[in-house]
Chains A and B, each alone.
Chain A
Amino acid sequence: MSKYLDKGVLGAVWLSLIVLVLVPLVFIVPAGLGLTDGNFLAPVVKFLNDERLPAVLRNTFLLATCVTIVSCILGVLFALAVERTSMRFAWLAHQMIMVPILVSPLVGAVAWVTLARPSTGFINVAWRTLTGSRDPLFSIYSFAGIALVISLHVAPYVYINVRNALQNIDGAMEEAAAILGSHTLTTWFRITIPLAMPAILSSALLVFVLTLETFSVVGLLGGPAGFVTLPFSIYLAINLPPGDWNYAAFEGLLLITITGLLMILYWKVIGASGQYAAIGGKGFRLVSKVGGKVQGMLVVVVWSYAVIAVVLPVAALLLQSFLGFTTSRFDNMIFTLANWQRLLDAPAFRLAFANTMIVGAVAATIAVVIGLFVSHFSIFERMRSLEWLAGLPLAYPGIVLGMAFIFTYNGTFIYGTLAILILAYVTQFLPFTTRALSAPVMQLDKGMDEAGKILGAYTMRRVMRITAPIVRSAVFSAWLIAFTRGIRELNVSIFLYTPATIVMPVLIWNYMEQGTFSQAAALSLLQLFAMLFLVAIAERLGRRFESV
């Protein structure tokens, strides 16, 4: 009897992965090729004849290239500063560098709109006040503005990977160069950076893909600048009347093909360099730290970043959220609690808050449960294809996934309910929960599971009574990782929400579209604080479980 239940559990895991990960993709293919309305290849023809096409493609790749270059330079400099100099407050610098990863790019864009919109952005107001100039110093509604906001947001990803690589480099390799008379910079360029090159390259690929997929920043800042990239074009194709869904589907197919191929390359690169294998065994860390002029320059870079990416945006959001009315002068600014009051009283806010919590919590729970069973089957029963399938959504641009869910569920009873948001969130969370759980399960002694098996326990009981309790700290942190992603989720929600199922990031987006910057700023701050709070809990829990 239980034997059949065992097969049922495995079948359920397969089925849920297929429904969540593969089915939505299958639905956009016929639409994208024009099969659904009988105009075979019409979207392709329209796309190729679109006069905006060269500009859209050029924008998309130019942006991704610029962001990749800038963020890689920044990330490598940060990693060298924190790992290879004796700078003071390196731990604080590390925390500051990590903050932008916690904040969604949407919140970064909101902050930068308040800082640098041409007329009333605080930086431009300050510039005009100080210089008497009539022109703004810098407009955020520009290619440079968009590239800046995204670069600030993705540089930490490069930093983490490269820092990790630097920690794993045997310090003796650099000392050997130093003893041979090599200068710090020479050593870095000849030894350290080449050794970290696999990490740098893989981060560059990752950042490139992330930028290709970015919708929120381009959507908020690119509109006024007339700057359209592929994801933004998909959004416009659906939301600008009359709306051309098949055209959007074709653009989606194109985008997911590009990101899919790049992610395959990315997985090849990190697989080949064995980056993950090195994590954990840190060997000895005999590294000679440098000081002097080099350190001085790096310290300036790091703290400038902290100011530009963290301090200024948070300060601007605070200022904006208390600002009585938007003004282009400092001397008539009035500060009030009215924005916060209006936000917290708004039925839309309460609804969005409740929806965000429900959808985030339920989707995180489901994604953790699936991730747990996927890890179990993939590691203990050697079904690696399950883990691969669960990781696939990493290659899906959020905007394409959201659209795919419309195509899949349009007209079904879950369309327009929280359930469809939950399904879409679960799909997005799966790679993260599975990764977070498979790593600790992999380290478990396989005998733990086999002992249960021999004693007569079937899958359900072994997962719930043995594997899950042993890796419970990873279960909690996987849940928190997923939940925090849920709080920031915009790309999928923007397509799937209705007024009744609105979530907080969409509300921020709507406030920005309406020009209600102050409420958007207040809501962004709430998101930021929620993230910081959850991360603090996660670290606490992590430490507590480690000590038990």
Chain B
Amino acid sequence: MKSSFLSISSLTKRFGDVTVLNDVSFELGKGECVALVGPSGCGKTTTLRCIGGLEYADSGSIRLEGKTLSEGPHAVVPQDRQMGMVFQSYSVWPHLTVFENVAFGLKLRRVSRSEIEKRVRDCLSLMNIGHLAERKSFQLSGGQLQRVALARTLVVEPKVVLFDEPLSNLDAQLRAHMRTEIRALLKRLNMSAVYVTHDQSEASVVADRTAVMHQGGIKQIGAWKDLYFVPSSRFVAEFMGAGNLLDGSVKGTEGNRVIVDVKGTTLQIDEDRCAFEPGIGSAITVYAPREAIILSALGQSGITGRVTQVLPGPSIFEVSVDTPLGTLMSVKVATDDIPQVGEQCSVALLPAHLSGFPFEPDHVTEAH
């Protein structure tokens, strides 16, 4: 992890009886982008707004380069925080031209007129909207508005850029394009950013690390790959996407392997990939990502299963098989041999990709 640039610790906020933020802490390195993801109401936007100073936390602190922005009820006003924010609804001012929108923050900073002219023009061409400078917002498309909002934020060179679901109002294709562009831009400018989204695939592209939030707290934070392959809770596993969750009990350990019994079948998990200290007999949920389920012709080693469903996709096919462990989902690349529904096959679970976390009874999922 990079050295701490922005440091958020133990943020807590209540609206009446409802706790919207519960002990939220994380660090952001210089030039790093952390995404906050989670279902609506999980507190991700409130966290972002607290960092920007648009909301004040009840307790906890926010520090930027060692300078305190907020400590308990004492907070620096947003005007003095040197943050930038890109809003979900763009919020490009309709009475000003694109140029005037972008120049607004520079004028506030008493930048000379010629300097404003130069910096705005540079920023607009960086965003590929140099030709739109004299337009007003009603003459722009959603993607163009988003670029204006981004230019308006970046031109004043904020210390941290806060993104509040910036792409959720764009259509799917543009969204896919913009997220790679935002990523490239942040890296090019070495800009630190906190990026709120409800779309974990957007987070995977834009952010260096992702924090999954649930009920006002951070459930897990890490690189997207870690969250996807080694989730530390059922919530994170379900939120990050399709995978197989197998409830079982711990039989014992063998070296650095944990032996788990799932419906009479024995599985082995790397001890490092277990989110808790597994005592013998403790209830465990084994997480097997779809990529860890290998289907091969009958007669190979592993358990036997029967294909029940094949869902074709653009590049990968999702295959469901009935096995003694229950229905497992696997993926096949489109160029592989795709098994037919009803076909019998051998099913292997790659031990290196299995992970485990404590079994949570009666878990009510709020994801999706």
Q: Which A residues contact B (CB, under 8 angstroms)?
A: 2-3, 6, 445, 447-448, 450-458, 461, 465-466, 469-470, 472
Contact = CB atoms under 8 A, between A and B. Distances in A.
Interface stretch (B81-89, B114-122, B295-303): B81-89
A190 to B, nearest CB: 43
Given A447-B88, A470-B95, A455 B152 contact: yes
A455 B104 CA distance: 8
10 contacts: A450-B52, A450-B78, A453-B54, A454-B78, A455-B156, A456-B79, A456-B80, A458-B79, A466-B93, A470-B95
B94 A2 contact: no
A450 B93 contact: no
B54 A470 contact: no
Given A445-B89, A450-B78, A453-B53, 15 more contacts: A3-B80, A445-B87, A447-B88, A447-B91, A450-B54, A451-B152, A453-B54, A453-B78, A453-B79, A454-B78, A455-B84, A455-B104, A456-B105, A456-B156, A470-B95
Nearest to B81: A454
Nearest to B77: A3
Contacts of A465: 104
Contacts of B156: 455-456
Nearest to A451: B91
Contacts of B83: 454
Given A2-B79, A3-B77, A469 B152 contact: no
A472 B79 contact: no
A6 B79 CA distance: 11
B109 interface: yes
A472 B95 contact: yes
B87 A450 contact: yes
B332 to A, nearest CB: 44
Interface in B63-110: 77-81, 83-85, 87-91, 93-95, 104-105, 108-109
A470 B91 CA distance: 12
A346 B220 CA distance: 84
A456 B90 CA distance: 18
Given A3-B77, A450-B85, A455 B95 contact: no
B91 A454 contact: no
Given A453-B54, A455-B152, A457-B79, A448 B93 contact: yes
Contacts of B149: 451
Contacts of B88: 447
A209 B230 CA distance: 69
Nearest to A452: B104
A73 to B, nearest CB: 45
A445 B109 contact: no
Interface centre among B53, B78, B83, B91 (most CB of A within 10 A): B91
A451 B166 CA distance: 13
Given A3-B77, A455-B105, A470-B94, A447 B84 contact: no
B108 A457 contact: yes
A469 B53 CA distance: 25
Nearest to A449: B91
A445 B91 contact: yes
Contacts of A461: 108
Contacts of A447: 87-91
B82 to A, nearest CB: 8
Given A447-B87, A450-B87, A455 B93 contact: no
Contacts of B90: 447
Given A453-B54, A453-B79, A469 B95 contact: yes
A3 to B, nearest CB: 6
Nearest to A454: B85
A466 B81 CA distance: 20
Nearest to A455: B105
A465 B89 CA distance: 20
Contacts of A456: 79-80, 105, 108-109, 156
B6 to A, nearest CB: 15
Interface in B115-159: 149, 152, 156
Given A453-B79, A454-B52, A448 B91 contact: yes
B95 A451 contact: no
A6 B85 CA distance: 21
Nearest to B149: A451
A229 B346 CA distance: 97
Contacts of A3: 77, 79-80
Contacts of B80: 3, 456
A306 to B, nearest CB: 41
